Amino acid sequence: MDLQLQGQGAVVFGAAQGIGAAIARAFAAEQAKVALLDRDSLVHTTAQALPGAFGHVADVTDYAAMQASAEWCQERLGRVDHVVFAVGIGSGKYGYPFWNLEPSDWPRVFEVNVIGAVNVAQAFAPRLAAARAGTLLFLASVAGQIGSQTDPPYSASKAALINFMQCAARDLAAYGVRVNALCPGMVQTALNRSVYEAWAALQPEGHKQTYEQWAGAKVQRVVPLQRWQTPEDIAHMAVFLASDRAAHVTGQTINVDGGYVMH
């Protein structure tokens, strides 16, 4: 599908691997100019596989680094039209019931998933507003809509991210800038596997399951379409939301989840 993104500048945070890398590839397939950013130096390898793409190492929790990254992206791409925040971490623990966690398990998750998003938005929003065009997309999660018992810090942080998206959408609408949240459902990522590993560590020997058994049973139980979503499924929606075909879509939480959450 030609979404007419040729020559436009797209910046993807969390682009070293997983969903973020898939989104960067999707923008590149639409012939956009792409900057891939991540705190993992693997981002350089991922960028090298894409024609004309640039890789840059930066930590979203460092606001000064985000300001410098905005300048770097502008210089490399010539223009910044679309910014995607595809960063997310969990607590690394199985959170049911929530009081099995410690209060100290929460701050780092919020620092990355919420404050990181705010830092990126603060750095790039003035440029988008000055251009009076463009999009800002936050990768949230269905967990932010259902109060997931699996990892309460992650779930609550993604709910906060959805609310911040709505605040940003209202503020930037007057400048012609659209802001949305995209919520993956069940995707086989390193984060999804880490949830399994935290669960498996608590199981008695006779109750242990492989990742494939555990995740497959969950997909069958909670996803009406009864199949995994892929990083590419999420990426297809991300580039659509960046295009003029979604010109009237802002302030929305879009699920790509096989029917996991229905409103």
Convert the pLDDT of each residue in 177-236 to its tens digit: 999 999 999 998 888 888 888 888 888 888 889 988 888 888 999 999 999 999 999 999
For residue 3, being part of any structural domain is answered with no
Is 154 an annotated catalytic residue? yes
Tokens of 17: 């691997």
Confidence (pLDDT) at 69: 98
Give exposure, 216-254, as e/b (b: 16+ Cβ within 10 Å): eeebeebbeeeebbbbebbbbbbbbbbbeebeebbbbbb
For residue 184, being part of any structural domain is answered with yes
Confidence (pLDDT) at 121: 98
Helix, strand, or coil here: 188? coil
Confidence (pLDDT) at 245: 97
For residue 98, being part of any structural domain is answered with yes
Confidence (pLDDT) at 215: 82
For residue 4, being part of any structural domain is answered with no
Q: Residue 126 is part of which domain span?
A: 9-255
For residue 260, being part of any structural domain is answered with no
147: left (phi > 0), else alpha (psi -120 to 50), else beta?
A: left
Asked if residue 253 lies in contact with residue 183, where contact means CB atoms within 8 angstroms, the answer is yes
Quick one: how far is CA 85 from the chain centroid? 5
Q: How confident is the model at residue 135 (pLDDT cuts 50, 70, 90)?
A: very high
Q: Which amino acid is at 134?
A: G
Give the separation between CA 135 and CA 41, rounded to whole angstroms.
26
The CATH code of the domain that includes 47 is: 3.40.50.720
**Active-site residue, from 94, 154, 196, 260:** 154
Strand extents, DSSP E, the chain:
9-13, 33-38, 54-57, 82-85, 135-139, 178-184, 253-256
> What is the pLDDT averaged over residues 239-244?
98
Q: Is 1's pLDDT higher than 80?
A: no
Confidence (pLDDT) at 190: 82
Helix, strand, or coil here: 72? helix
Count structural domains, the chain: 1
Strand extents, DSSP E, 163-212:
178-184
Q: Is 31's pLDDT higher than 90?
A: yes
Quick one: how far is CA 212 from the chain centroid? 24
For residue 62, being part of any structural domain is answered with yes
Give the separation between CA 60 and CA 106, rounded to whole angstroms.
17
For residue 104, being part of any structural domain is answered with yes
- Angle ∠(227,233,239) on CA atoms, nearest 5: 165
For residue 263, being part of any structural domain is answered with no
